[in-house]
Amino acid sequence: MKRKTAGDWGILLVAVLIGLLIAVPFLMILINSFKSPADYNATGPLTLPSELYFDGMTAFWERVNFPEKLWNSFFISSVVAILAVVISMLNAFALGIGRVRGRTWIVVLILLANMLPQEVLLYPLYFMFKQVGLYDNQWAVIIIFVVIQSAFGTYLLASVYGTFPKEILEAASIDGANRWTILWRVVFPISRPTLSVLVIFFFIWTWNEFLIPLTFLVSNATQTVPVSIAVLQGDRLMDVTTTSASALLGLLPTLIFFLIFQRTLTRGITAGAVK
């Protein structure tokens, strides 16, 4: 077994420090979520609670109708993740394997469009969805994020499919497979680990989005978890401990989702690295 060098120990130390910096905010949220306002005022944010206090979490749960907001976020994120991956795969198949004309310029255009800040898109999208009657409708947010996420997915998968072994494709064509069959029977099974990683990333990214849902979901019944937290904080109806409880409740679903699919994520990244 190779002995660790000073450089290896230095990298390990930096990684541990970065991990601690990432973990500290979460630990502070966790500690203060179960403190009473009086306990927080007396001991500050860095000490453990003298007793477990659940009223802050209960108050937030009831004020925003948290199960409704949880379902809204789950519905939007799930639909976006699935549709964006499917569209990305179809686009990337045409660009990376189908070899359409001007594929390089198309990929560059998609990349440039994906780099636009969301603030630039707000007014045109607001005007457009107002005209078609989808403003304050969850499908407006779904359509926007499907386009945004699939642009990134197309750029990534087009590069992957561009290096796809031609021998496999030629063998499938000789056996009589058409384009559709090659996509679903050959390309899709081989690229499934990469697609799984994209589904996980698209779900988490969409769940954490704030600006566009805040702009397009004005009704209380259509809002997502991040928007409901921000709106309630803006109404100044919550103390520090209730705010921490709301942040914890908003963070837990994505953390649970990540832990459930952690093995899938690791396998997908490893498979991509090996290929």
pLDDT surpassing 50 at residue 275: no
CA pair distance 23, 115, nearest whole angstrom: 29
pLDDT surpassing 80 at residue 202: yes
* Residue 155: per-residue pLDDT: 87
pLDDT surpassing 90 at residue 11: no
Q: What is the pLDDT of residues 85-96, one digit of tens each?
A: 999 999 998 887
CA angle (187 as vertex; 274, 204 as ends), nearest 5: 70
Share of the chain above pLDDT 70, in %: 92
The overall average pLDDT reported for the chain is 85
Pick 48 or 2 by higher pLDDT: 48
Residue with tokens 């549709």: 83
Question: What's the rounded mean pLDDT across residues 240-247?
Answer: 84
Question: What's the rounded mean pLDDT across residues 99-121?
Answer: 80
Band (pLDDT 50/70/90 cuts) for residue 153 is very high
> CB 104: neighbour CB atoms within 10 A?
10
pLDDT surpassing 60 at residue 270: no
CA pair distance 24, 204, nearest whole angstrom: 21
Token pair of 141 as six digits? 């947010």
pLDDT surpassing 50 at residue 234: yes
Question: Which of 53-62, 98-107, 173-182 comes out lowest in average pLDDT?
Answer: 98-107
- 222 DSSP assignment: G
pLDDT surpassing 50 at residue 250: yes
Pick 264 or 198 by higher pLDDT: 198
